[in-house]
Amino acid sequence: MSGKRGNGEGSIYPYKNGYAAYVWVTKPDGKRARKYAYGKTREEVHEKWLNLHAEAKKGPVATRHRTLAVFLSYWLDSIVKPNLAPLSYVSYEGYVRLYIAPHLGTKRLDKLTVRDVREWLTKLSAICQCCAQGKDAKRATASRRCCAIGECCESYPSRRVIQGSRDALRAALTHAVTEEEIGKNVASLVKVPKPRRRRIKPWSVAEAGQFLADAADRDDHLFAAWVLVLCLGLRRGEVLGLTWKSVDLEAGELYVDHQIQRAGREILHRETKTEESDDFLPLPALCLKALRMRRAQQLGDRKAAGELWQDSHGLIFTTKHGTPIEPGNLTRMFGLRALRAGLRVIPLRNTRHTCAALLVVLKVHPKVAQRILRHSQITMTMEVYAAAGDEDVRDALDRLSSAMGGSG
């Protein structure tokens, strides 16, 4: 019978063209308030009313739900920016602005479903991002060549972008669950294909020796950087973040604890990502000689620059005027120098694979190499040493030694 409440139904009543009900709940801020449910039939509202009661018994319940776009903005500004690395914020902000908010931003946070997320990812993979972001339209009229003139260039997002977008949404919804705004993380229930990495064959010891010999012969001002990358396996940011305070040339040690990063429009000199990344590394003789050469070069650069010199944290590797080197520029310079030396170009990060073999050639003791390579067990280091024991490999750096003797 319409208008009457059944036994135990509580506050269910006629409302406009259907029915409404409410339950007293405790909000996340600890205050008590009414939570309403609406429907066209009494049975529909009764079911929602029972679900509200069950939800209220589990813990705090939000009475007003934000849209996903509003929550993502709050999450980026109040959670990610103050607590995570600047590069993480830039990455998450880009995924939210370009891929998540334009498609899911208007949906209510508590109404987002697994199906919504799955359909969004499927749709996203088939959307030309040049069209969606107006990339061609931003070019000068004379330079427009595709989407702005009606010729779609089919710049579809890669698997890595799809996975990154899903991961950013999953991270945000994880926080929404923590703050008890939603009951489950629907993004974590959607699987995406893992991007396949193209394997690139690293340089052999002979190729690394040819690269270093060419750089030494040309008195390359980044020669020491290439030596540290190849012989110690340092990452790009770690090399650029080194300061003279990090080096003890007398003791033959290098302390890695800072890095240079590009975050949006800023170049940051900040601590390494984790404490495990910080370490004292012993310096082989080749590295020590290269660093002494670099110090002499920098003193010459400082004298030539005069008042234009800018002392940036006492960095070892700088521009001619003492400013930090752009990380992307170091990668480009590495590629250009590889071509100049007559070698195939490999990504700068792949040089770490050549590091172990070079340590063998430099006759570094296995226990010392274990520290440099940051292997947890000496057996891993010994496997590398056993694989790089040929005499022709051991003689690969003869040209390098000769070049360094000539340029020193």
pLDDT, one tens digit per residue, over 12-68 is 888 888 888 888 888 766 788 888 888 888 888 888 888 888 888 887 776 667 889
∠ CA 256-259-264, rounded to 5°: 170
What confidence tier does 365 reach under pLDDT thresholds 50, 70, 90?
Answer: confident
Count of Cβ atoms closer than 10 Å to residue 378 Cβ: 13
277 near 256, Cβ under 8 Å? yes
Residues 233 and 150 in one domain: no
Q: What is the pLDDT of residues 129-139, one digit of tens each?
A: 999 998 988 88
Residues 231 and 371 in one domain: yes
Question: What is the rounded (10 degree) CA torsion for 39, 44, 48, 53?
Answer: 120
Residues 49 and 100 in one domain: no
Residues 211 and 284 in one domain: yes
0.75 exceeded by the pTM?
A: no
Residues 45 and 125 in one domain: no
In this prediction, residue 391 carries a pLDDT of 46
Residues 264 and 370 in one domain: yes
Distances from the Cα of 185 to the Cαs of 174, 223, 282, in angstroms? 6, 49, 46
In this prediction, residue 406 carries a pLDDT of 45
Q: What is the pLDDT of residues 59-87, one digit of tens each?
A: 777 666 788 998 999 999 999 999 988 88
Residues 129 and 260 in one domain: no
Residues 148 and 252 in one domain: no
Residues 211 and 246 in one domain: yes
Residues 169 and 80 in one domain: yes
Q: At which of 189, 217, 247 does a domain end? A: 189
- Which structural domain range is residue 51 located in? 12-58
217 near 240, Cβ under 8 Å? no
Q: At which of 133, 163, 189 does a domain end? A: 189
In this prediction, residue 107 carries a pLDDT of 93
What confidence tier does 393 reach under pLDDT thresholds 50, 70, 90?
Answer: very low
What confidence tier does 8 reach under pLDDT thresholds 50, 70, 90?
Answer: very low
Q: What is the pLDDT of residues 140-153, one digit of tens each?
A: 988 899 998 888 99
**44 located within any domain:** yes
Residue 3, CA atoms < 13 Å, CB-side half-sphere: 0
Residue 171 has pLDDT above 90, yes or no: yes
147 near 137, Cβ under 8 Å? yes
Q: At which of 189, 215, 248 does a domain end? A: 189
**196 located within any domain:** no
Please name the residue ranges forming H helices in 14-152: 42-58, 68-75, 81-83, 86-95, 101-104, 114-124, 129-133
